[in-house]
Amino acid sequence: MAVAADDGLVEELAGLVGRPHVLAPGEDHAPYVVDWRGRYHGKALAVVKPASTAEVAAVVALCARRGIAIVPQGGNTGMCGAATPDAEGRSVVLRLDRLNRVRAVNPLANSITVEAGCILQAIQEAAAGVDRLFPLSLGAEGSCQIGGNIATNAGGTAVLRYGNTRELVLGLEVVLPDGSRLDRLQGLRKNSSGYDLKQLFIGAEGTLGVVTAATLKLFPRPRVSALAMVALPEIEAALTLLGRLRDAVGDRLTSLEAMSRGQVEVIAEHVPDVPIPFALEAPWYLLIELTDTLASTNLRTPLEEVLAAALEEGLVTDAVLAESGAQAGALWKIRHSVSEGSKRAGYVVSHDSVVPIENAPLFARNVERRILEEVPGARVVMHGHVGDGNLHVLAILDARQFPDAVTAAPVARRINAVVDDETAALGGVISAEHGIGISNRDRLGRVTDPVELLLMRRVKDLLDPTGIMNPGKVHPPGA
């Protein structure tokens, strides 16, 4: 990648977005050059905060002219370092915060058009304001930005019913690496007019262009729900329950979230204000949520019937049904505390594997056994969206022995290799919902079909021939 000197860069950027919206070297870059997990520490020539698509286009065109790399950044809540500049300090960090307008809400078309810097929660609230649901829901929703959700094709806890972010995107506005603009914001539900180019930019982590706005799907708002947490004698029971719940209520089954006993223990130990309504004697726990848009629908009876039969047969060994919204919230709080609890428990080597759902139990057993063979001292816990075959495997290491990423790197590589090999052997992929970024870029090459990998690389070279868009993400540097 050609890199020009940065003479006068700050002044040129200031000329485009206004001096108050450029952070020069020496000004406070700290919040923007380290990922939230603290794994990657980069440097930047400048941090720039444009306020409009036109300003983003102007900044990208300037960087393209000068051959300066651009690292698009939203809420900086990513799990794989996809928004962190490298340590060379030759990149500009492009913050989308100021593109935060809801451009349009259309209840008739069930769509909303938002700018990339909108906070996910603000979009959920705008949808609720017109009695609609925007279903994307994840731990960071109070601070992550939709541009980042789109760039990583984020998942979350409602994918079982509504799909990953990709399935929620009706249209995109993208600034291409040369500063030109692709406008596919029409919220059309049907379109067979040539190639669907917007798909390239969803999940591309800013390596092909900068997403500046999107038109998203809205859904009828659920008016009733039923929620239970149950203890399972083995993870296979989760799949049996999935089948029975689907037979009973169809796609009213919205969430099916599994946690291993070890995962719940980590929360009990490190997030003490979260009450756990079980004696932790079962190997797996499962959160089940049903929702419906018709207030008159009775969801509790079919849920009780399925669980009563399961208890009878020993498929479920214990069950708690939420009697109120507050109780439902308390049970969800357990699930939403996994990241915080695990982070406090030690140095976490985490994974985002997804396998064909029927292979999920074998995957869980194999990775636990093999990680413990490889690293006897590790604490292996799991949580995830078992209804989609997406189980997050966490190997928690002693923080005194492994205080940081550098110290942990060699053992982390061995753990990753075990998990990745099992994932590939069982027909899965290494990232279901977090993305590739820096964390997974080298591993992607190890486990991906060479034809597919080569085509990804050729698409990158086609759209970004000089390699200025978020270099070192998805693809290894200089690949």
> Would you tell me how many other CB atoms lie within 10 Å of the CB of residue 48?
25
Q: Which is nearer to its own copies, 343 or 385 (CB)?
A: 385
Distances (CA, A) of 39 to 90, 266, 362, 416: 19, 21, 30, 16
Q: Which stretch binds its own copies (CB under 8 A): 88-96, 177-185, 273-281, 320-328?
A: 177-185
Which among 74, 86, 50, 10 has a CA at the least distance from the CA of 179? 50
Among residues 456, 467, 468, 469, which is the contact residue for its own copies, using CB under 8 A?
Answer: 456
For residue 226, state whether it binds its own copies (rule: CB under 8 A): no
Among residues 3, 102, 105, 109, which is the contact residue for its own copies, using CB under 8 A?
Answer: 109
The tokens of 314 are what? 């020993």
Q: CA 148: distance to chain centroid? A: 9
291 three-class SS: strand
Least Å from the CB of residue 102 to its own copies: 17
Among residues 13, 47, 69, 159, which is the contact residue for its own copies, using CB under 8 A?
Answer: 159
Note whether 282 and 233 are within 8 A (CB): yes
Among residues 146, 216, 432, 438, which is the contact residue for its own copies, using CB under 8 A?
Answer: 432
Least Å from the CB of residue 28 to its own copies: 31
For residue 250, state whether it binds its own copies (rule: CB under 8 A): yes
Q: Which stretch binds its own copies (CB under 8 A): 94-102, 122-130, 314-322, 430-438?
A: 430-438
Could you tell me how many residues of this chain bind its own copies (CB under 8 A)? 89
For residue 53, state whether it binds its own copies (rule: CB under 8 A): no
Among residues 44, 96, 172, 242, which is the contact residue for its own copies, using CB under 8 A?
Answer: 242
For residue 129, state whether it binds its own copies (rule: CB under 8 A): no
Q: Which stretch binds its own copies (CB under 8 A): 14-22, 84-92, 202-210, 270-278?
A: 202-210
The tokens of 81 are what? 């370092």
For residue 220, state whether it binds its own copies (rule: CB under 8 A): yes
Q: Strand pairing partners for 106?
A: 111
Burial grade of 273 (CB within 10 A; 0-12, 13-18, 19 or more): exposed
At residue 427's C-alpha, the angle toward residues 421 and 432, to 5°, is 85
Q: Which is nearer to its own copies, 231 or 444 (CB)?
A: 444
Q: Which stretch binds its own copies (CB under 8 A): 10-18, 25-33, 68-76, 454-462?
A: 454-462
Least Å from the CB of residue 47 to its own copies: 26
The tokens of 142 are what? 């109070």
105 three-class SS: strand
Q: CA 30: distance to chain centroid? A: 23
* Touching its own copies, residues 341-360 (CB under 8 A): 352, 354-358
Q: Which stretch binds its own copies (CB under 8 A): 11-19, 229-237, 259-267, 457-465?
A: 457-465
For residue 200, state whether it binds its own copies (rule: CB under 8 A): yes
Provide the angle, in degrees to the nearest 10, between the axes of the packed helices 9-17 and 53-66.
160
Strands of 284-292's sheet in order across: 318-321, 224-232, 284-292, 253-260, 379-385, 390-397, 347-350
For residue 55, state whether it binds its own copies (rule: CB under 8 A): no
The tokens of 461 are what? 């070279």
For residue 181, state whether it binds its own copies (rule: CB under 8 A): yes
The region that residue 328 occupies, defined by phi over 0 for left and psi between -120 and 50 for alpha, beta otherwise, is alpha
* Touching its own copies, residues 312-331 (CB under 8 A): none
Whole-angstrom distance, CA of residue 154 vs CA of residue 326: 27
For residue 110, state whether it binds its own copies (rule: CB under 8 A): yes
For residue 398, state whether it binds its own copies (rule: CB under 8 A): no
